[in-house]
Amino acid sequence: MKILRFIPIAALLAFVSLISLQSCSKSDKPAGTTTDSSKTTTTTTPAPSTDATAPAALSDKAKKGQLLYYNTSLGKVKVACATCHSDGSAKTQGNQIRQGHTLAGVTSRTATWNGMYKGDNLKKFAYGASLCAAVFQKRADIKTVDKALSADEVDALNEYLAAINTAPGAMTSNLKIQWVGKPTFSDEAPDEKIAKPGITAIMKLPGDPAKGETVFGASCGTCHSISDKKIGPPMVKAAKDMNYVAQTIRFGSGQMAFYAKDVLSDQQAADAIAYIQSKLGK
């Protein structure tokens, strides 16, 4: 009997605290663009509440944003935001190594893309998503990045990003994107002087093809197969020059996004390359 009476009260308490947490984070949002990210980080981060209640709690606009987030047909390249960025949901948390960091927590960041987006431009370009949509999804070319997403789409994405701000794995402080050099965001090869140290760091390491198979599957495999075309071209041609493969990993190539060092280590890159080589009989 005692237990029976206890459960509804506990449930009620949990429910009430959930509601207050949600309304609290909602009213934080407009102010969240300023610098009080420390506050957001130190709140108790109720991870389970987000997973259990987020779908039901999404506003209509946030739902629109979520659809955009999972849409693989937003641009000419058939990848979605979710292909490259976790949103903290179980669907995007697994062994897959995504090129981008999680977007849970992004609305608390005060600068994104290593400082390319800050101030008013954060909300205006969905925290820098316009650049991804233009370059990686090929919705616009590099000269019209700002138009890659319509104002309505930006609005919807902003609302969804705000809704996942405290989702599991959230990163609320500014990222230091560990790129070897700023990517060119075009088909142009990076400056040789900048590219070379990044390539050498990978190529000087002995790679393990067995480990590389796992790395390839978890990262490259989303878009590439060794000998068939998937979202990206087969590895056969590019693999004639392994330095070029290493360069592509660190700087991207046109529509392919780069891998920062903390996303894919030099050793993991060397292992993936050793695997590609082993498959091509070299």
CB of 14 or CB of 142, closer to ligand HEC: 142
C-alpha distances in Å from residue 197, one per residue of 104, 219, 236: 32, 23, 25
Place of tokens 């590219």: 195
CA atoms of 215 and 259, how far apart (whole Å): 13
CB of 170 or CB of 223, closer to ligand HEC: 223
Give buried/exposed letters for 245-254 (b at 16+ CB in 10 A, else e): bbbbbbbbbe
Secondary structure class of 20 (helix, strand, coil): helix
Strand 117-118 and strand 111-112: the pairing is: antiparallel
Q: Work out how close the CB of 20 gets to ligand HEC at its nearest, in angstroms, rounded to a whole number.
A: 28
CB of 133 or CB of 167, closer to ligand HEC: 133
**Which 8-state DSSP code applies to residue 276?**
H
CB of 201 or CB of 272, closer to ligand HEC: 272
Give the alpha-carbon dihedral of 115, 175, 212, 219, to 10 degrees.
-80
CB of 77 or CB of 195, closer to ligand HEC: 77
Residues making contact with ligand HEC (CB under 6 A):
77, 79, 81, 83-85, 99-101, 103, 106, 109, 112-113, 126-129, 132-133, 136-137, 157, 175, 177, 187, 219-220, 222-224, 231-233, 237-238, 245, 248-249, 253-258, 260, 272
Q: Work out how close the CB of 210 gets to ligand HEC at its nearest, in angstroms, rounded to a whole number.
A: 16
CB of 84 or CB of 140, closer to ligand HEC: 84
Beta strands per DSSP E along the chain? 111-112, 117-118
CA atoms of 249 and 272, how far apart (whole Å): 10
Closest residue by beta carbon to ligand HEC: 254
Q: Work out how close the CB of 174 gets to ligand HEC at its nearest, in angstroms, rounded to a whole number.
A: 7
What would the two tokens of residue 203 be? 């190529």
266 Cβ contact list (under 8 Å, min separation 6): 201, 202, 205
What would the two tokens of residue 44 be? 């108790």
Q: Work out how close the CB of 222 gets to ligand HEC at its nearest, in angstroms, rounded to a whole number.
A: 4
Q: Work out how close the CB of 132 gets to ligand HEC at its nearest, in angstroms, rounded to a whole number.
A: 3
CB of 5 or CB of 76, closer to ligand HEC: 76
Q: Work out how close the CB of 147 gets to ligand HEC at its nearest, in angstroms, rounded to a whole number.
A: 14
Q: Work out how close the CB of 2 gets to ligand HEC at its nearest, in angstroms, rounded to a whole number.
A: 50
